[in-house]
Structure 1
Amino acid sequence: MSSEEWSAKALQAFDAMVQAGSGLRARSGQRGMAECVANTFAKAQLGKVEDGATPQRAIAVIQAGTGVGKSLAYCAPAIAMALARGTRVVISTATVALQEQLVHKDLPLLAAQMPEPFRFALAKGRGRYVCKLKLERLAGQGGADEGDDDLFPDDELPASSEVGEARVRLYKGMADALASSAWDGDRDSLHEQPDAALWRPVAAEASSCTGKHCPVFNECSYFEARKALVGAQVIVVNHDLLLASLGARVLPELDNCLLVLDEAHHLPATALEQFACRMDLSRLAWVDRLASRALRVGTLLEVMEVADIPAQASSLRQALQAMERLVLDAYGPALRGEAGGTGARRWGRPGDPASPTRHRPPRGLLAAQLDAPIAEVAAHASEFLESLRAIAKALRAALRDTPLEARRLAALYAQIGMLAPRLEEVHACAALLQQAPAEGASTVPAAKWFTLMQNGDFLVLQAHASPVLPGNALRQQLWGAVRGAVLTSATLTSCGSFDFFLRESGLWGDEAATTLEVASPFDYAAQGTLVLSETHADPKNADAFNAEMVDALLEDLTRVRAGALVLFTSREQMRRAVDALATAMRPSVLVQGQLPRPQLLARHRERVAAGQPSIVFGMQSFGEGLDLPGALCESVFITKLPFAPPDDPVAEARAEWLRSVGRDPFSELVVPATALRLAQWAGRAIRSEEDQAHIYCYDKRLARTSYGQRLLKGLPPFAQERRTLQGQ
C-alpha cells in the first residue's frame, strides 16, 4: 500500500468516527489536523531499511487551540494507520489528567466505534509497582535471614523502634492485601499512598529485579501489567517514562512505531530533568554498605573481581571526601553566606533557614583543585561498577542454574540493587562535571552547581550537573531513533511563532519536521475580555507592587459571583493576599495546599453548583491542565507576569552562555518561555463555545513594554480593556 493510500485509509477512519456520533462531533479545524496526522505517519518509513539507505522520517508539530478536539484528531488516524501497517501507537502525555481522559474516555469510545478492533494499555514505570519478594521480606513473611534494613538506604533507616514497628505493620497490610487480591500492586491504586521513603524499598526497580529468574515472577505485579502492553496496539505513557526508557526495551522500538506527544510543550523541561544528575559529598555510609553487600555476595559466588571491591570503595570514599573538602575550601564562604562570599543564593522558600544555599561557578568552570578528585571519583566509580556487573552476572547465572536457591539469591541481588543506582549517578555526575569546553569554543557548557543544606545536626553538601540546552539532549537521545511523530499542544507557538519550541525541542533545522497551527473554534473576541490593569508600582519592586496589586485584586474579587481562579507567581505573594482577605470573603476562598488538589477542586465544584461564589488561589501547577468550564471559572486573575523563578541554575547557565556569544537571553529565552506560560494561564478562562470570562492582569508591563506586546501576540484575540488603579 502506498503512503497516499495509507493516508486516505486513516483519514476515512477519522471521518467515520465523526459521522458515527456517540459522543463525538465535528469541530472546526479538527479534520485539518487529522489530515496532517495521517499524511505525516503515512510518510514515515518504519522498521528495517536497506543497508546504507537513509529511512524517511516525518514529524509534525501541531498547535491545536483549545476546543479543536485534538485527541480524536490524532487518535483515530494514528490507530487506523497503525492497524493498516501492522505496527503500534505510543501516546505520551505530561499529566495524569490527560492519561486518564485517554484511557478511561477517549480510547474506550474509539474502541467501541472503530471497525477494526484494537487494544490499549497504560504503561507506568517499574517504580509504580511493588516487588512482592521485597514486600514479603519487609513484612516479616519472606523467611530471609539477612537484615531487613539492607533494603533501606542508610539515610532512611527508622529513627526508633516504634517507627520500625509501624513500618512493618504498613508492609504487612500491603502484603496481605496483595496476597488476597484486594490490591493489584500498583502504588496508584492504594487507598492511602505511603511516603516515598517507605515505598522506595519495596518498589520493583530494575536494579533490584531478577526478572524471570525471580521465585515469584509469575505473581509479579509489574510483569503482569506488562502483559497488557505486549498485546496492545495503543500504549499510553508519560514523557518521563518515554525518555527514561530510551534504549531499555520497555516500550516499542521508536523506529518501528508511531509516536504522539501530547502536551508537547512540557517535553523540553522533562528532558532537562531526565538528563540532570547529582551526587552527595557528605553522606557516604552507603559506599561502605554497598561494598559490604557486594563483598559478601561476591564471595559466596566466588567472583574473582570481589577482591578489588574493598580498595575500590575505599578509594571512592576518599575521593568524595577530598572533593567535599576542596569544594568547601573553594566555595564554602559563598555557600555559608559568610562575609566575602559571593554568588550564593538560598534555594527554596525565602526566609527559610532550612532551605539549601546554592553556588554556581560562572561558565561551568570549576576551581582547578577540583579537577583531580572529580577525575578520581569518575574512575573509581567506574571500576566499582564493573565489579558490581561481574557479581550481577554471576548472580543471574546462579539463579538460572540453581532454581531451588532462587529466593535467597534474589534477596541478595536486591540488596546490591538498592544502592547500585547511587553509584551509577555518582559516575554520571562526575563525568558531566568533568566536561569543560575549550576556551572560546561554541560548545555549550554544562550547568554545574553545589548546594549546602542543614539536615538535623549535620551539613549536607551536594554536587549537581545538567545539560543546558534541552534541544541538544533531545536531538541526541530521542529524535535520531524516531521515524514518525506528531507533537501537539494548545501552546506550542510563542509570541506568534513556532521558532522557540522548535529550538527547545531539538527540531529546529530538522528537515523532517513540519508545523501546523489549527485555530480554536472559540470566538475569543466575543467570549472573553482581557483587562489590563496598570498599577503605579513597578512590578520589579515586589513589596510596593504586591501591596498595590493585592488591594486591586481584593476589590475585584468582591464582584465574583461564581467560580474564579487567582494565579500567583510566588508563595509570598499568595500569603499576602490570603492575610489581607476580609473576614466575610474568607469562606469563599480555597487556597492551594490547604487540601489535596482533587478534594479542593471537588469542593470548588460543589460550591459553584450550589450557587455560591468560590475562588481558588493557586500557583504555577494550577495555571495549566485545569479544566473548569462555564460557571466554574468565569474570571481568571493573573497577579503578575509569570516569569520563571530567577534561582534556576540551569537557566542561569544558559543565559550566561547566550551573553558570552553575543546573544540576548531575555529576548531569546525569557520572553518566549513566559509567553508560553502566560498563554497557558489565560487558557484557563475559555473552555467551551458557551463560556464567557474575564482575564485580569495586574502587571502593567504587559501593556506598556515592547516585550509585553510580544506576549500579547501569543494570547487568543480577546477583547481588551485598559484601566489604571484610579479607575477602579
Structure 2
Amino acid sequence: MSSPLLDEPSATDAGAAPPVSGPLAREALALAAFDHVVSHAPGYRARAGQREMAAHIAHTLSGVTLGDGAVASDAALPARGIAVVQAGTGVGKSAAYASTVIPLALAQQKRVIISTATVALQEQLIAKDLPALASALPEPFTFALAKGRGRYVCRLKLDQLSGGDAASADLFDADDSATDTSAAGVAAQAVATAAAAARWQERGVQYARWAEALDGGTWDGDRDRLDEPPEGGLWAPVAAERHTCTARHCPSYNSCSYYQARARLAQAKVIVVNHDLLLSTLGLHALPAPQDCYLVFDEAHHLGSVAQGQFTASMDLMRSQWLDKLPRAVDEVASAIEYRPTIDVASFAKELKSAQSELARLAMQRIGALPAWAQLTGAERPAHRLVAPERRAEGAPVVERFEGGVLPADWREVVTRMHAHASSLLKVFEALATQLKATARENPGDAARCAKLYSRLGALAPRLQSAQETATYWMQDAGEGRPPLAKWLEAGVSHGLVTLTAHACPLQPGSLLRNHLWNQVRAAVVTSASLTTCGSFDHFLHESGLAFDGAVAAREVQSPFDHARQGRLVVVQTAADPKDVDAYTREMLAALLVDLREVSRGALVLFTSRAQMRQAQALLERGEHGALRERVLVQGEASRTVLLRRHAERVADGQPSVLFGLQSFGEGLDLPGELCEWVFITKLPFASPSDPVGQARADWLKSQGRDPFSELVVPATGARLLQWTGRALRTETDEAVVVCYDARLLRQSYGRRMLKGLPPYRLQRRVDGVLTDA
C-alpha cells in the first residue's frame, strides 16, 4: 500500500544515448570487454568456465535494449533476457558478470544493480572486485553501496534528543508500559520511570557526541562507520526511518546523511544492494526502476525465502498501550494544523484495542500451552512486565497453525473489526501526513514544526500498518486453484515477558517474485554456486518465479576444481536410525568426538539444530574431553568476525581449531586452505518440521494430489547440502574431507537424488571404522 507517509522522491538516471546497434554488436562488445579485463587486470587469469559464463551472459542479454519503446532489432531474439547461471566454486562469477554487464550498460548510458544476500559478498564487490574492474576497463565507471535508510542517523531526531530530554524522546517511543495499578505496581512503575529518565540522560550525552561529530565532519551519519556499533535501543530513536521522515520538506533535508548518500547513489553507474532492500523498495523509487537498468542477482538461491519474508505480515497481540497514545498524538497533530478528522479517533482506537484484546484471548484459549496466568486477559492478567522470577522459563515458542488457512467463524468477526478500524485510522494518518507536507511546502518557516509533528505520527504508524496488513491477510481465503495463506500464532516467554504474535504469509514465493519483480525486469543475470539441486534447475526456477518465463536461458558452469582428487565425501553408517533422534544423536556425537581428535589444523562442524550443538558442547565439558574443548569455537560465544579471527590465529600458530556452527555457518563462509581441511555434517539439513509455512505448503500440495516430500523437501535439503559441502574446497590447491554421519545419503533413494547434485567427490562409506569406496 502506498501512502504519503511512505512515498519517497525518485532516483533518476542520466539521459539515454542511442544503444549499441544490433544484438551481434552488443554480444561482441560484452565479450571483448571480458577478454580485455582478463588480459589487463592484475591477478586475473584465463579460466575456461569463467569465459563460458561470460559468453552465456553476453549472448542472452544481447537482444535487449533498455529505454522507452526499445525493442530487439532481431526478431529471433527476445526483448527480455534473463541469464541463469550456476557457477561452481572457483569459476570467478563476479568477474564474469561484472565485466560483461557493466560495459553493456555503459554503452547504453544505463545503470547496473548488483544484488547480493550477504554482507561479505557486498564488501568483496565494493572493496576488491569493482575497483579492479574500474581500473581495467577503458571506460571508467563509479560504484556505490546502497543501504536501508535505517542505517543512517536522522539529524532532526538527533538534534531533538541530544539534550537527553525524555519528553522529546516520547515523540519516537511507542513502547508500552506496565498497567498494574496496585501499590506495588505503582511503586515499581515509579522506579522504572526514574530509571528511564536516567537512561535518556545518558543517551543524550552520546547523542550530543554524535551531533558534534556530524558538525565536525568526522562522521557521516552512517551507523556502520561508528567506531563501536551502537546497541539497537540506543540507535533506534535516532534512525532515519521512513515513517518519521518528511524527506525534502524536513528543515534538515540538505544536511541529511541518508539523502546525501542517496545523492551520491544517483551519480553511481553501478549500485550494490542486498535482496531485502531491493525487494522492499520496489515501487518506492529509492533505486533505479528495474525495467530501465541491468540487474544482477548473486547468491540468487536466497530470492524465494527473501520474497516470502518481505510479504510476511505479523502483529503483536500482547502490547496495546500504544493505542492509548494514538488519540492524543492525532489530536495534537490535528489541532496544530487545524485539521478535523472525519472519524472519532478515540472511539476507533478503543474499538481496535478491544478487538486486539479479544483476539489475544481467543489465541491464548486455542494455544492452551502457557501457564494459566498467561492465559488471563485485561484486568485479570498480571502486568506482563512483572513476571515472577520462578515463572520466567524461556524456551522454544509455542506455534499454533490454522490448517488450510481457515479461521473459525468467531475469529473472522474479530479480525474483520480489526481490519475496519485499523484501515480507518490509517486513512486519518495519511490525510494528516498529506496536510503536514503541504503546510511545510507552502510555509518553509514552519517546516521544523511540521517535521516534528510528522514524527509523532510516524512513531505509531508501523504498528497500525502491521495490524491492518495482518488482518488483511487473515481475511483472505484460498481461491480457485490458488493456495491458501499460511496463518499461525506464536507464543512464548522472552526476558520475563509473555509474547504473543499473529502471522500470515503467502505460500508460493515464485508467484510473489513473478508478480512484483520479474514483470518489471528486462535484462538480468541470476547466479549462484547452488542453483541446481538433485541435478536440476527445476526447484530453483519454481521457487524464484522463473519456471515459465520464456526469457530465461539457464546454464550450469562446472567448477575448475578436481573434486575427486582434492576431496573425499565419507558417509558414516550408524546403528541408530536418524529418525530415532536421541539414540542417533548419542551415537553420532560419540563418533564426532573421536573424529575431531584427527584434526591437526582447521575444521568446521555443522549442526542442524541449536539443541544438537548444545549436546555436543555439554559432552566437551566433561573431564575426558577437556583438551578437545579448548580447540573448539562455538557460534554465539562471540561475534562471527571475532570467532573467525581467533580461528585463523590458532591455525596460523600451528594449533588445531574447530568451529561449531549452524545454518548460517554452512553458507558464505570462506575458509581456504588449512583453515578448513575437514567439514563434519552431523545430519542431513532438513528444514524444521515445525516451520508453519513449510507445513502449510505441504498440506496444500497434498490436497492437490502432489508429494511435498519429493517436490519440496528433498530439493530444498539437497540445495542446503550443496552449500554445506561447498565449505570444504575453496581454491584449486585445497584438499579436504567431508564427513556426513547420516547414512540416508547412501541408503535412501532421496539421498541418492541429493548426491546427484553434489560435486564429484571421491565417495566412501565408513562402517565400524572401516572405509570402503561407495
Normalised by the length of structure 1, the TM-score is 0.94
User: 586, 591, 597: which one pairs with 1:547?
Assistant: 586
> Do the aligned residues in 2 keep the contact of 1:294 with 1:306 (CA within 8 Å)?
no
User: 746, 762, 768: which one pairs with 1:703?
Assistant: 746
> Do the aligned residues in 1 keep the contact of 2:163 with 2:205 (CA within 8 Å)?
no
Which range moved further: 76-85 or 305-314? 305-314
Distance in structure 2 (CA, Å) of the matches to 1:182 and 1:457: 41
**What is residue 420 of structure 2 aligned with on the other side?**
379
Distance in structure 2 (CA, Å) of the matches to 1:306 and 1:456: 41
- Output aligned runs, 1:495-506, within 5 Å: 495-506=534-545
Q: Is 1:470 equivalent to 2:509 in the alignment?
A: yes
> Do the aligned residues in 2 keep the contact of 1:34 with 1:74 (CA within 8 Å)?
yes
CA-CA distance at 1:163 after TM superposition? 2.8
CA spacing shift, 1:524–1:443, aligned 2, 3 Å: same
CA spacing shift, 1:80–1:352, aligned 2, 3 Å: farther
> Do the aligned residues in 2 keep the contact of 1:88 with 1:234 (CA within 8 Å)?
yes
Distance in structure 2 (CA, Å) of the matches to 1:38 and 1:50: 18
User: 623, 629, 633: which one pairs with 2:672?
Assistant: 629
> Do the aligned residues in 1 keep the contact of 2:394 with 2:494 (CA within 8 Å)?
no
CA spacing shift, 1:352–1:19, aligned 2, 3 Å: farther
Distance in structure 2 (CA, Å) of the matches to 1:277 and 1:291: 24
> Do the aligned residues in 1 keep the contact of 2:41 with 2:136 (CA within 8 Å)?
no
User: 669, 684, 687: which one pairs with 2:727?
Assistant: 684
Which range moved further: 306-315 or 573-582? 306-315
Distance in structure 2 (CA, Å) of the matches to 1:48 and 1:217: 32
User: 365, 369, 375: which one pairs with 2:406?
Assistant: 365
Deviations 1:667-695 (A, max 9, x none): 11111000000000000000111011100
Residue 515 of structure 1 aligns to a residue whose secondary structure is: strand
Residue type at the aligned position of 1:542: V
CA spacing shift, 1:491–1:50, aligned 2, 3 Å: closer
Q: Is 1:26 equivalent to 2:46 in the alignment?
A: yes
CA spacing shift, 1:304–1:518, aligned 2, 3 Å: same
Deviations 1:594-616 (A, max 9, x none): 11111110111111111111111
User: 95, 98, 110: which one pairs with 2:121?
Assistant: 98
Distance in structure 1 (CA, Å) of the matches to 2:710 and 2:255: 55
Residue type at the aligned position of 1:484: A
Q: Is 1:325 equivalent to 2:361 in the alignment?
A: yes
CA-CA distance at 1:146 after TM superposition? 5.7
> Do the aligned residues in 2 keep the contact of 1:335 with 1:451 (CA within 8 Å)?
no
CA spacing shift, 1:50–1:652, aligned 2, 3 Å: same
CA-CA distance at 1:335 after TM superposition? 6.3
User: 27, 46, 53: which one pairs with 2:66?
Assistant: 46
CA-CA distance at 1:544 after TM superposition? 0.9
Q: Is 1:605 equivalent to 2:626 in the alignment?
A: no
Residue 321 of structure 1 aligns to a residue whose secondary structure is: helix
CA-CA distance at 1:195 after TM superposition? 2.3
> Do the aligned residues in 2 keep the contact of 1:28 with 1:520 (CA within 8 Å)?
no
Deviations 1:163-201 (A, max 9, x none): 333332332332232222222111112222222233222
Q: Is 1:639 equivalent to 2:660 in the alignment?
A: no
Deviations 1:550-609 (A, max 9, x none): 111111111111111111111221122222231122221111111111111011111111
Residue 517 of structure 2 aligns to a residue whose secondary structure is: helix
> Do the aligned residues in 2 keep the contact of 1:303 with 1:390 (CA within 8 Å)?
no
CA-CA distance at 1:455 after TM superposition? 5.4
**What is residue 6 of structure 1 aligned with on the other side?**
26
Distance in structure 2 (CA, Å) of the matches to 1:183 and 1:174: 8
> Do the aligned residues in 2 keep the contact of 1:90 with 1:260 (CA within 8 Å)?
yes
> Do the aligned residues in 2 keep the contact of 1:335 with 1:359 (CA within 8 Å)?
no
Residue type at the aligned position of 1:89: V
Deviations 1:319-356 (A, max 9, x none): 22232233344x14256699xxxxxxxxxxxx963543
> Do the aligned residues in 1 keep the contact of 2:293 with 2:523 (CA within 8 Å)?
yes
> Do the aligned residues in 1 keep the contact of 2:601 with 2:656 (CA within 8 Å)?
yes
Distance in structure 2 (CA, Å) of the matches to 1:4 and 1:50: 16
**What is residue 302 of structure 1 aligned with on the other side?**
338
**What is residue 475 of structure 2 aligned with on the other side?**
434
CA spacing shift, 1:463–1:145, aligned 2, 3 Å: closer
Deviations 1:279-298 (A, max 9, x none): 12221111232232122111
- Output aligned runs, 1:389-538, within 5 Å: 389-438=430-479, 441-454=480-493, 459-538=498-577
CA spacing shift, 1:459–1:603, aligned 2, 3 Å: closer
Deviations 1:116-159 (A, max 9, x none): 01100100011111101101211218xx9963222112238975
Residue 62 of structure 1 aligns to a residue whose secondary structure is: strand
Q: Is 1:662 equivalent to 2:702 in the alignment?
A: no
**Structure 1 residue runs of 4 or more that deviate by more than 6 Å after TM superposition:** 335-338
CA-CA distance at 1:309 after TM superposition? 2.1
Q: Is 1:76 equivalent to 2:117 in the alignment?
A: no
Distance in structure 2 (CA, Å) of the matches to 1:151 and 1:578: 42
Residue type at the aligned position of 1:75: A
Q: Is 1:712 equivalent to 2:755 in the alignment?
A: yes
CA spacing shift, 1:454–1:6, aligned 2, 3 Å: same
> Do the aligned residues in 1 keep the contact of 2:160 with 2:168 (CA within 8 Å)?
no
- Output aligned runs, 1:259-274, within 5 Å: 259-274=295-310
> Do the aligned residues in 1 keep the contact of 2:305 with 2:509 (CA within 8 Å)?
yes
Residue 630 of structure 2 aligns to a residue whose secondary structure is: helix
- Output aligned runs, 1:544-623, within 5 Å: 544-581=583-620, 582-623=625-666
> Do the aligned residues in 2 keep the contact of 1:298 with 1:306 (CA within 8 Å)?
no
> Do the aligned residues in 2 keep the contact of 1:281 with 1:461 (CA within 8 Å)?
yes
Root-mean-square deviation (Å): 2.1
User: 263, 274, 281: which one pairs with 2:317?
Assistant: 281
Distance in structure 2 (CA, Å) of the matches to 1:50 and 1:100: 34
**What is residue 254 of structure 1 aligned with on the other side?**
290
CA-CA distance at 1:41 after TM superposition? 2.4
Which range moved further: 65-74 or 456-465? 456-465
CA-CA distance at 1:101 after TM superposition? 0.3
CA-CA distance at 1:161 after TM superposition? 3.6
Distance in structure 1 (CA, Å) of the matches to 2:680 and 2:723: 13
User: 137, 140, 152: which one pairs with 1:117?
Assistant: 140
> Do the aligned residues in 1 keep the contact of 2:604 with 2:680 (CA within 8 Å)?
yes
Residue 720 of structure 1 aligns to a residue whose secondary structure is: strand
Residue type at the aligned position of 2:670: D
> Do the aligned residues in 1 keep the contact of 2:393 with 2:493 (CA within 8 Å)?
no
> Do the aligned residues in 2 keep the contact of 1:284 with 1:317 (CA within 8 Å)?
yes
Residue 127 of structure 2 aligns to a residue whose secondary structure is: helix
> Do the aligned residues in 2 keep the contact of 1:336 with 1:357 (CA within 8 Å)?
no
CA spacing shift, 1:607–1:217, aligned 2, 3 Å: same
Distance in structure 2 (CA, Å) of the matches to 1:241 and 1:335: 37
Residue type at the aligned position of 1:218: N
Aligned sequence identity (%): 51
Which range moved further: 122-131 or 204-213? 204-213
> Do the aligned residues in 1 keep the contact of 2:161 with 2:169 (CA within 8 Å)?
yes
Deviations 1:369-425 (A, max 9, x none): 111121121111111111111111111111112222222221111111121121112
Distance in structure 2 (CA, Å) of the matches to 1:262 and 1:418: 35
Question: Gaps (5+ residues) in structure 1?
Answer: 339-350
Residue 155 of structure 1 aligns to a residue whose secondary structure is: coil
> Do the aligned residues in 2 keep the contact of 1:322 with 1:373 (CA within 8 Å)?
yes
> Do the aligned residues in 1 keep the contact of 2:370 with 2:492 (CA within 8 Å)?
no
**What is residue 250 of structure 2 aligned with on the other side?**
214
**What is residue 186 of structure 1 aligned with on the other side?**
222
> Do the aligned residues in 2 keep the contact of 1:213 with 1:400 (CA within 8 Å)?
yes
Distance in structure 2 (CA, Å) of the matches to 1:672 and 1:458: 39
